[in-house]
């Protein structure tokens, strides 16, 4: 818009900093995903990985809220319940996919949430056969097929479907987050309640399957996953809160690029040309769907 070209130095800072925070968040998420995979290779169970991902957020946010005397009681427990169930499933499924697939493939499938949202709106008539949504869904569908094409082993196919299911659950969680935002629920409280829910679910799973003894390196990877995941979430919140939501959402897909580079550096994962085209289609469709969502949000009658 008009303000960027007419101001001297401040707009450059205000436009660059949100992009920096978003790219930093994406790098942290990619490294955190690598830690998930590395800890799994060293014997960490899925329950242990999920627990250590959420525990730092619970401890640090709870201490901060207590010291600043903020209320922990939510406005509506029912709104949090739907978000926690959908978001919890998304985390469990995505961590499984990261542990069993190349990072680039796992993140590509996990980041199909905008496609599920677009598909849901088309099915429910919320966009009245919007051509942009239909194009985004078509591109995303072709991208998913291209990404899954190299996964010829049975184990990879199962993990790929799990990763795709994680994207669907993430879409449901995103819709619930919008409702919480409209109810003026503070982001820190939403993250805290979600992290507590994740900890409880992982503790229940650990009570059933038992605790796996781990070495020092595995513990370092688990703690790194939790710490970087929390810092990445804070950086992403900063990016969304201080700049263009659309730009931040599109830059979010750079996680796939970072994950591809890490996968090649650590595991020598080579992304084939067909899978590379698929990743590009998923990023394009996700960006198109996100752009259309933001545009239609300005016209509430077009949304479900």
In a domain, 4, yes or no: no
Tell me what pLDDT residue 7 has. Answer: 41
In a domain, 143, yes or no: yes
In a domain, 86, yes or no: yes
Q: For the chain, where are the E strands, in sequence order?
A: none
Beta carbons within 10 angstroms of residue 95's beta carbon: 25
Residues 6+ apart with CB under 8 A from 146: 274, 275, 277, 278, 281
In a domain, 5, yes or no: no
In a domain, 12, yes or no: no
* Residues spanned by the domain of 132: 18-302
Q: Which of 284, 261, 229, 231 is nearest to 114 (CA)?
A: 284
Tell me what pLDDT residue 75 has. Answer: 80
> What does DSSP assign to residue 8?
S
Q: What interhelical angle do 103-110 and 154-182 show, nearest 10? A: 40
Q: Which of 90, 86, 96 is nearest to 112 (CA)?
A: 90
Give, in degrees to the nearest 5, the angle at Cα 296 between 167 and 81. Answer: 45
Q: How many residues does the chain have?
A: 304
Tell me what pLDDT residue 115 has. Answer: 77
Number of domains making up the chain: 1
Tell me what pLDDT residue 288 has. Answer: 77
Tell me what pLDDT residue 4 has. Answer: 44
In a domain, 6, yes or no: no
In order along the chain (304 residues), what is the average pLDDT of each group of 10 residues?
41 59 90 96 96 93 93 84 92 94 89 78 63 75 75 72 92 82 82 93 94 95 93 78 64 85 90 82 78 64 44
Q: Which residue has the tokens 């190349």?
A: 102
Q: What is the CA radius of gyration of the chain?
A: 19
In a domain, 203, yes or no: yes
pTM recorded for the entire structure:
0.82
In a domain, 1, yes or no: no
Tell me what pLDDT residue 9 has. Answer: 39
């Amino acid at each position: 818009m008009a303000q960027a070209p007419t101001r001297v130095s401040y707009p450059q800072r205000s436009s660059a900093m949100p992009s920096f925070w978003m790219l930093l968040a994406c790098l942290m998420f990619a490294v955190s995903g690598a830690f998930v995979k590395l800890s799994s290779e060293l014997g960490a169970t899925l329950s242990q990985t999920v627990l250590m991902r959420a525990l730092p957020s619970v401890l640090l946010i709870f201490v901060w809220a207590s010291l600043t005397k903020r209320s922990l009681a939510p406005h509506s427990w029912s709104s949090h319940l739907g978000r926690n169930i959908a978001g919890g499933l998304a985390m469990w499924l995505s961590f499984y996919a990261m542990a069993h697939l190349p990072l680039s493939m796992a993140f590509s499938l996990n980041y199909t949430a905008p496609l599920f949202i677009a598909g849901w709106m088309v099915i429910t008539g919320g966009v009245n056969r919007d051509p942009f949504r239909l194009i985004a869904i078509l591109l995303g569908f072709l991208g998913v097929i291209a990404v899954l094409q190299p996964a010829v082993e049975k184990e990879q196919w199962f993990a790929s479907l799990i990763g795709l299911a994680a994207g669907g659950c993430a879409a449901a969680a995103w819709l619930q987050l919008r409702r919480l935002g409209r109810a003026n629920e503070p982001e820190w409280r939403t993250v805290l309640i979600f992290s507590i829910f994740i900890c409880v679910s992982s503790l229940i799973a650990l009570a059933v399957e038992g605790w796996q003894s781990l070495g020092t390196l595995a513990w370092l990877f688990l703690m790194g996953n939790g710490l970087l995941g929390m810092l990445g979430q804070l950086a992403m919140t900063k990016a969304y809160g201080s700049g263009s939501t659309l730009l931040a959402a599109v830059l979010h897909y750079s996680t796939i690029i970072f994950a591809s580079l890490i996968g090649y550096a650590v595991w020598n994962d080579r992304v084939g040309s067909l899978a590379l085209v698929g990743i590009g289609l998923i990023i394009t469709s996700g960006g198109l769907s996100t752009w259309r969502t933001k545009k239609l949000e300005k016209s509430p009658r077009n949304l479900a």
